[in-house]
Amino acid sequence: MTDMNSTFFKVKRHDTIVHLQMNRPEKANGMSPDFWQDLPRLAAALNEDPSVRCVILSGAGRHFSGGMDLATFADINTMLSNEPGRAAYALRDLILRLQSALTSLELLRVPVIAVTHGACLGGAIDLITACDLRIASADSSFGIEEINIGMTADVGTLQRLPKLIPPAIVNELAYTGRRFSAEEALAWGLINSVEADRDAAFDTAMQMARDIAAKSPLAIAGIKKAITYARDHIVQDSLDQIATWNGGQLRAEDLMKAITAKKAKQEVVFDDLLKANI
């Protein structure tokens, strides 16, 4: 991998699985400016590495993340002290850049598994909803807390969460800002499983990542593309999209490898994707 240095994240490699750990525990992994700068850069680097098969995202210390760092709000207040029209333009541009940083996870060709423990609040909800899978420790607590500081969440929660859990539940949580538990999140379908503690949650995510990494990377990329596309399009358009994808991508090699290995009751090893060196 190239360009994987980060001031915010600790990057660990486990064979074909990459672990991105938010590493600002003294600040509850508050999403400071370096978070927003490093995340899309790391996602781009991961996308360019054909040997990467899955990504796990977690937080160091007592909490997954307390959300947006308060220092960032101070910078926004300073920006808003300028001429109103120019300040409004700059604020909109900033919001779009923050949105794009999280969307980089959604655009990543491999699945991203979020592992939460402790607090997962505010911007951290935006973060986990941009991931593909979510595993929580039993002590995880969640909250769409922007309403508690007098603002509307604006970097993804209100757009992605209604596609993951019932809209009426989203309404309640967004309007009231109340915290909810891992068990509630599991019952609504926000998270995939609740584990006893942080270590157990990470172990579950790692096993899931290994299962994903063992599959055809071309098929995995196609699944992620199709699911994301179908979320935002009508059924007929989505059917057309997957027909076009498989028409161009479905080739005999991975298919025959999988069928042959299954008949022989053997494990199959799929080749990495190719990197265009241009």
Give per-residue burial for 20-32: e unless 16+ CB within 10 Å, then b: bbbbbeebbbbbb
Range of the domain at 242: 217-264
Whether 272 is covered by a domain: the verdict is: no
68-114 residue pLDDT tens: 997 777 778 888 889 999 999 999 999 999 999 999 999 999 999 99
Tell me what pLDDT residue 78 has.
Answer: 85
- Quick check: helix, strand or coil at residue 69? coil
Give yes or no: residues 191 and 231 share one domain: no
Q: How many domains does the chain have?
A: 2
Whether 278 is covered by a domain: the verdict is: no
Give yes or no: residues 192 and 229 share one domain: no
Whether 79 is covered by a domain: the verdict is: yes
Give yes or no: residues 41 and 13 share one domain: yes
Name the CA radius of gyration of the chain, rounded.
Answer: 20
Give yes or no: residues 157 and 225 share one domain: no
Whether 60 is covered by a domain: the verdict is: yes
Q: Which amino acid is at 180?
A: F
Q: How many CA atoms lie within 13 A of 9 on its CB side?
A: 23
Whether 239 is covered by a domain: the verdict is: yes
Give yes or no: residues 28 and 137 share one domain: yes
6-27 residue pLDDT tens: 999 999 999 999 999 999 999 9
Which residues, 6 or more positions from 94, have their beta carbon under 8 angstroms from its beta carbon?
Answer: 76, 79
